[in-house]
Structure 1
Amino acid sequence: MADKYDHLIVADLRELMKERGLPVQKLQLRLEAEEQEHKLKHELELERMELEAQHQREELETREAQRGHEAREAQLQWKPKVKVSPTKSGAQAHPDTLICSVTGFYPGGIEVKWLKNGQEQTARVVSTELMQNGDWTFQILVMLEMTTQSGDIYTCHVEYSSLPGPITVLWEAQSDLARSKMLTGIGDFVLGLIFLVLELLVYLRNKKVEVVGPEVANPKQTGPPPSGEAPPNPKKAKNKRQKGASQKLQPL
């Protein structure tokens, strides 16, 4: 509608300039230049609006992709498994190192601490780097050098983002007496289990002899006697064999 009015105004100006003898060609060039400039501004405005719309679409797609990635990460989170194992070096009688193994977790952000009787230990703690397994999960080993005393309680304290609270695994230093009692109990249990197995084997062997014995006593008898016949008498059979042998020995 505005362009229509502009054309009407231009036409009126041309008629007026013709009546007054003014140069119309100069006005025509100026109007054409202004029209080109207006058209160029309009095209630039359309291009700017299209670029803004494209930028907004890209931002929306980026946010959607980020939310999808976070959702997949939340679904793929594996909780860590924690295990504490004591080791000893050289010919020492007692373990001098505790190893806290944290395995099977994803993603990789995790914090592992050693506590002794509730106090965090930092001086003699050695940790490996975060190691990646073949199934996209991670593992880490945190070692603590210790001087064992009876009653000391060591705790491996693990904090992870997907857990509602920390994981704690305890290890208590035992005295020589408690350790010897435990070993004695294990030895008694193993010996009792061995004797039980031996007695079971002897019982099964005797049972097998009782079942096979009657069949071995009369190996020629392969089945029950025919119906209506009495079972053979071993004594009569023996007398019959002896009588037949004596008849063969009589002179002709």
Structure 2
Amino acid sequence: MINKILPCAEAALCDVPDGATVMIGGFGTAGLPNELIDALIAQGARDLTIVNNNAGNGESGLAALLAAGRVRKIICSFPRQADSHHFDALYRAGRIELELVPQGNLAERIRAAGAGIGGFFTPTGYGTELAKGKETREIDGQMYVLEAPIHADYALIKAERGDRWGNLTYRMTARNFGPVMAMAAKVTVASVHEVVELGSLDPEAVVTPGIFVQRVVKVERVATAGGGFRQLA
């Protein structure tokens, strides 16, 4: 019987080795799998290459992983924001490597990995430092840059509901990079707020099929001071 539900985030991430490439879903804090990141910090893997849209916010989540000194390199689109002080300090001290990728290119490079595409040409970045050292080509009178796919050893993503086969649905903007990252990684770990019975998810509503997901962990919503729950998109 196929059952991809694990008892806790720690069990789902116990085998992440030093030097792994880890994709982490999220757009800012929307869809950021904080519980999985906390488990990765506790697990202790070092010299990680992280692929994310940005470089952490405030003190929690990805920012906490950076602050713990576990990241050797980050591949992202928006490394600096008002509250990205941990990345800023590490970068200025020469303790972290940055590969800056335009957001559309980032999404497409991840998607290309999942689709088995060896590379693609895009006009984005041509004539800038981002194209330095890369192959360029003129196509129909316009110049393009060859971009390579981004593969990962692990993808950590946040979904809304999942079943024991790993089929996933998302909540609003929490979807962001999750579906393409799930396709591009050798091992995809998804946190969900609700585990449902097999067959209860409408097939038309399933965004990430279980074939792309290896491990599912249920996490509770975070209670607020007012007695409700904080629901981040």
Larger C-alpha radius of gyration, 1 or 2? 1
TM-score > 0.5, shorter chain as reference: no
After TM superposition, the score normalised by the length of structure 1 is 0.17
After TM superposition, the score normalised by the length of structure 2 is 0.18
Q: Which has the higher contact order (CA 8 A, sep 6+)?
A: 2
